[in-house]
Amino acid sequence: MSDKKPKGGIKVAAEMLEYLSSQEREKILENVSKRDPAIASRLRSQIRSFESLLKVQNKGMQRLIRELDISQIVKALKISSDEMKSHFFSHMSMRMAEEVKENIAQSQKMKKSDVYDTQKKIVDLALELESQGLLVFSENDEEWVD
């Protein structure tokens, strides 16, 4: 008899889903939800996507932005929601926010895959900062104080 334990589970599945575009990930999660809403909910709670940055608290978001160059921010925000853009802009100086807005407006066409790659790199950096205790993802809607 083999002592091999099954590898995988929710955490591994969520990590795999993180590599997909948000549209692809959402399609899969919708299908999972139709079959097992509880599993879909558990997967959603484990996924760290670009949209997860909306849950990053003030000082952590400021720290993340300091680690990025403007071209990365511009590329990542090119197709982001207004909510995400506002989240980034609210954690940077007015001058920097204006520069990013201008660069987004003036930016050339770019491949979606390049945008998603940049977003993934930013998420990876956020996860690294989280592991160092320099950034916190709020797991619920609870408000935090500095």
Residue 59 in 3-state DSSP?
helix
Q: 131 and 84, same structural domain?
A: yes
pLDDT tens, position by position, for the chain (146 residues)? 455 655 678 888 887 887 777 678 888 989 998 999 888 888 877 778 888 899 998 999 999 999 999 999 999 999 999 999 999 999 999 999 999 999 999 999 999 989 989 998 999 899 889 889 899 888 654 554 55
Closest by CA to 53, choosing from 130, 137, 121, is 137
Spatial neighbors of 20 by CB under 8 A, at least 6 apart, are 28
Q: Which domain covers residue 118, as residue numbers?
A: 54-140
CATH number at residue 60: 1.10.220.30
CATH number at residue 22: 1.20.5.2020
